[in-house]
A and B are shown apart, each in its own frame.
Chain A
Amino acid sequence: MSRSSQPTELAPETHDDLRIVQGALRGEPGGMEKLFARLRCVPRILAAINRRFGKALQDADLADLAQETLTKIWSKLDHFQGTGPLDSWAYRFCFLELMNRLRHHYRWGKLVGGSLDGVDPAVASTALEYQEVEERLDELGPPEADVVRLKHLEGMTFPEIGRFLQVSPNTAKTYYYRGIDWLRSRLARTRSEGES
């Protein structure tokens, strides 16, 4: 059952990037310049991911993708809660946008098959698994999906997650268990559908 993907309201955390984002959204003088100085990470992250995929995308395609990804990030910027640096938050957009672009690329089959030149098959495999996990987490929604992401993709501890979510560490652990068990059941279902 699909759930709302509206992010859980996290407790405000004093973080430079959060101040920068809020300043830009409020239209503070110089706010956009500061934000864009930080958003320079987006083309760089895309370039780094593309390199992992054997430079499957040419520079011109990558530049277009950077622009599209930045536009998407801009539209979701009010969801940034400062749980980590801005580039860490932007990574998910970069990764998924690049994977979506590659999905329609003539080299996608080779990437999935692990035979794309210059690509470590283990990296390709991890990337595909991560993409699937992200899709399932989007179905799951908050707070469980938030906890799983905060734990594994932001590297937070349960007490830290509890503080952000304004719940006890034990509640954070319960959400975590539910999230992992949800992924287990969903991935098993995908597996059995693939086998049938």
Chain B
Amino acid sequence: MSSQPRDIDPLLADLLAGDLDEHDSTVQERFAAEPELAARWHELQQVVGVLEDSGQLKDDILAEARTEQDAPGLDRLDSLRRRWQSASTDLLLTRPEPRRWPSLAIGGLIAAAILLAAVAYWLAQQTDSDGDRQQRREERTIGGGFRALKPEGALASFETFSWETPAQPGSQFRVIVQDAESRQEIDRSLDLEQPLWQPDEEKRASWPPRIRWQVEVWTEGIRVARSPWISASR
């Protein structure tokens, strides 16, 4: 694993494990002294964000599936079970054997089928991967580059959310706010034309004292970038 760090930075490890708070003065001092460390922390947070979103999607889908009554393929389970059961108890070996084709012919047919499948797969890969790469390139062109994300740290209120980003003109922004403790979403903005959001005062009043938030950049219906999660408290 060549790109694994040889020396683990204890500060980042503690932050990632939740043993240390990002707003701790020692952390902020190190980040101020070592901008590359702060940048790496933001990148790590982005990875964690992807994993948290994936975990949430999984939980939602499983919850939905557990209440599902019917689904395509359920009616095939019994025949599948019987097939596996008979295979696992070697019943197939004791059955009268069906008419056998000469082994050479079977071998030739299998080889031809494998060759045909390989060619079809290769062709499909060529077609799809070009489009796929293009789409991914589009999705990643902008990347991060967020600056001056506010609110951050301890504040009197969460009145105004603002940020700077090199997003291309015409992009839209979407702010997502979570409870910092439970990581449950508590609010999200509509699509914003400007890098600024002032949530409704009544809504803000219902928010917990500690939040974390993230801004996503959308261009032509594609999420092209998102910021790390930013923690704030009041």
- List residues of chain A with CB under 8 Å of any chain B CB: 1, 3, 27, 32-33, 36, 39-49, 51-52, 59-60, 62-67, 70-71, 74, 87-88, 91, 95, 103-104, 108-109, 112-115, 121-123, 125-130, 133, 140, 148, 151-153, 155, 158, 173-174, 176-178, 180-191, 194-195
Q: Is the CB of A63 within 8 A of B73?
A: yes
Smallest Cβ-Cβ distance to A45: which chain B residue: B65
| Cα distance, A129 to B54, chains bound together (Å) | 8
Q: Is the CB of A63 within 8 A of B76?
A: yes
What chain B residues lie within 8 Å of A91 (beta carbons)? 58, 61-62
A109 and B131 in contact, given A115-B221, A174-B8 (Cβ under 8 angstroms): yes
Residues of chain B from 83 to 139 with CB closer than 8 A to chain A in the complex: 84-85, 88-89, 124, 128, 131-133, 135-139
What chain B residues lie within 8 Å of A74 (beta carbons)? 84
| Cα distance, A133 to B73, chains bound together (Å) | 28
Q: Is the CB of B131 within 8 A of A59?
A: no
Name 30 A/B residue pairs within 8 A (Cβ), A-sorted.
A32-B81, A32-B84, A46-B73, A48-B68, A52-B57, A60-B72, A62-B72, A62-B73, A63-B76, A67-B73, A67-B80, A108-B131, A113-B221, A113-B222, A114-B222, A123-B57, A125-B223, A129-B50, A133-B51, A153-B55, A153-B58, A174-B13, A177-B17, A180-B44, A181-B5, A183-B47, A184-B44, A187-B47, A188-B43, A189-B3
| Cα distance, A77 to B90, chains bound together (Å) | 19
Residue in contact with A67 in the complex, picked from B44, B47, B53, B76, CB distance below 8 Å: B76
What chain B residues lie within 8 Å of A182 (beta carbons)? 1, 3-4
Q: Is the CB of B80 within 8 A of A130?
A: no
What chain B residues lie within 8 Å of A180 (beta carbons)? 16, 44, 47-48
Q: Is the CB of B54 within 8 A of A126?
A: yes
